[in-house]
Amino acid sequence: MITPAASPRPNGDIAIEAQEVTKVFGAVRALDRVSLSVRRGTVLALLGHNGAGKTTLVGVLTAAVPPTSGRAYVAGFDVARKPREIRRRIGLTGQFASVDGQLSGRDNLILIARLLGAGRKAAAARADDLLELFALTDVAARRARTYSGGLRRRLDLAAGLVGHPEVVFLDEPTTGLDPSSRLALWEIVENLVAEGTTVLLTTQYLDEADRLADSIAVLSSGALIAGGTAAELKARVGRRTVVVTLDGAHTAAVAAEALRRASMEPVAGPDTGVIVVPIDASKDIAAVVRALDHAGVEAEELSFREPSLDDVYLTLAGHRPHPARLVQGADA
């Protein structure tokens, strides 16, 4: 799915294509030569932590943010040249619900349909269809600002679908939702895809990517560091991990150094003082313990995990040209 060197132009089977897209904001390289392509009717999950560049990439692909260099095509149109054609064919749901709180849910949908060129009757009919699809009929007449977070998000997603978009962008669609709303949203996405819609969703949740996506692209500090199906990614890392929790950054740096000397490849964990160590077999846990013991480091907690997307992400992010700060801090 993720092709490092993209073909000169997308063919009809490709709904989203980015070719070496770079975006620089002042001194910040928000996107660094990102190339990817998404086949029509499939779901790509863009995985990354806050600030990884997910929203910027969505901005570029929805013709809202002009790329500094590189090209991108959505639904067959160049984002730089045909923004309006793209906007006619995409639906966008942002991290923050983009609906008019002053208007009722129904009027929000009618407004969008009217702006897309629907007549009054057609707009109302489309609004009612979507309200039913998203189980919003009961609250349709209420002002959107009185909606709960889950209702608002559903309305926002409905708003993105008014124009029957062929490509839908969901920027962290389930952030801040309760588990049942999350599940409901996942089902909606699955139905969309079943109807042939192409979906690009960004997420920090690995289970979400695992559940919904045909392919996953991992974004870190603006660069794509891995891509493939969930299974491929797991296979690529293919290792179980030991998570070592230490009492601070300094101890962690000492421990990381000791583990490296023992020919292991420790990477920084999600929190300060946490190290993730990929291992080949269960018996290697002993090697981790021995190495720590040898260095005189006492771990506060030591746990063993089967490979998960979380580890995939951490391992890959740790293997970037710029090593994670904690491990690098050992020598600095």
Partner 1 sequence: MTATTPTPPASPAAPASSTSPAWKGSSPLLQIRVLTARSMRSLATDPGVILFGLLQPVVILFVLTQVFSKMGPPPHFPAGVSYLDYVLPAVLVDNAIQAAVQSGVGLVDDLKNGIVARLRSLPIAPSSLLVARSMTNLARSTVQAVVIMVLAIGVLGYSPRGGPAEVAASVGLTLFMSWALGWAFIAAGAWLRRAEPMQNLALVAVLPLMFVSSAYVPVADLPAWLAAVAQVNPLTHAIDATRALALDIPGAGAVLPAMVISGVVAIVSAALAAVGFRRPM
Q: Which residues bind partner 1 (CB under 8 A)?
A: 8-12, 19, 40, 59, 62, 64-65, 71, 73, 75-78, 81-82, 84-85, 87-92, 94, 96-103, 107, 111-118, 122, 126, 159-160, 163-166, 196-197
Min CB(79)–partner 1 separation in Å: 11
Which one, 119 or 238, has the nearer CB to partner 1?
119
* CA separation for the pair 291, 261 (Å, rounded): 8
Please check whether residue 124 is in contact with residue 110, taking contact to mean a CB–CB distance below 8 angstroms: yes
Supply the angle between the helices 120-133 and 149-161 in degrees, to the nearest 10. Answer: 130
Which one, 9 or 290, has the nearer CB to partner 1?
9
Min CB(76)–partner 1 separation in Å: 4
Min CB(223)–partner 1 separation in Å: 21
Min CB(47)–partner 1 separation in Å: 23
If you count them, how many residues does the chain have? 332
Which one, 79 or 297, has the nearer CB to partner 1?
79
Residues β-bridged to residue 198: 167
Which one, 112 or 218, has the nearer CB to partner 1?
112
Which one, 194 or 332, has the nearer CB to partner 1?
194
If 0-12 CB within 10 Å is exposed, 13-18 middle and 19+ buried, where does residue 298 land? exposed
What phi and psi values does residue 178 have, to the nearest 5 degrees?
-75, 165
| Residues in contact with 291: Cβ distance below 8 Å, sequence separation at least 6, in sequence order | 258, 259, 261, 262, 264
